[in-house]
Amino acid sequence: MIVLAPTGNIDLAVLESLRQPLAAAYRGEVVIGKSLPLRPESLNPERRPTDAQAILESIPNASRGAWSLGVANVDLFVRGLNFVFGLADDAGRRALISLWRLRQEAYGLPRDDLLFRRRALTEAVHELGHAHGLGRCSSASCVMHFSNSLSETDAKGCDFCSDCRRKM
């Protein structure tokens, strides 16, 4: 089971759009959990992005046989990187994605809900893959391939390659 944990102000329709595709990708039930507030220690007054590690740590560790996915609508960073699309902790069976940089409007482009939801799904599947213990994949078309830009996220899509699917 995967529990979607909205973190901060998240549109319920976005969470609903993730449920069925995540259930298919991970072959299990996906439920929407209770909303988690953004903790003050996650906010960094010296820069706009929010500390992804602090938010991830606020997501409760998942119980045996379950995983938690935090979904935030803030710009995230981790030390050493200007931004991240998400972060995962396989020991706690939890992951986090940010919707902030997945929207066309963040770059001054026209809104595209279909593209936004595909990107959100890609990042959700990717980070949950890490929470399941998968590492990065060298196959550019695999969802577990590292992406540092939206063009790389768009290119890889949201499916596992045969090797990563077998590891699952």
Per-residue pLDDT tens over the stretch 114-146: 999 999 999 999 999 999 999 999 999 999 999
**pLDDT exceeds 90 at position 37:** no
Q: Residue with structure tokens 């890609």?
A: 122
**Which residue in 16, 41, 46, 127 is the catalytic one?**
127
- Which phi and psi (to 5°) does residue 92 adopt? -90, 0
* pLDDT for res 160: 95
Which one-letter DSSP state was computed for residue 36? B
User: For the sheet containing 81-84, what is the strand order?
Assistant: 50-51, 76-78, 81-84
**CATH topology for the 2-167 domain:** Collagenase (Catalytic Domain) (3.40.390)
pLDDT tens digits, one per residue of 77-109: 888 878 899 999 988 889 999 999 999 998 999
- 5 forms beta bridges with 70
- 109 forms beta bridges with none
Is residue 31 within 8 Å of 1, Cβ to Cβ? Answer: yes
**pLDDT exceeds 60 at position 43:** no
> Catalytic site residue 41?
no
Name every residue whose Cβ is closer than 8 Å to that of residue 87 and which is 6 or more positions away in sequence: 52, 53, 56, 76, 78, 95, 96, 127
- Over residues 63-68, the mean pLDDT reads 87
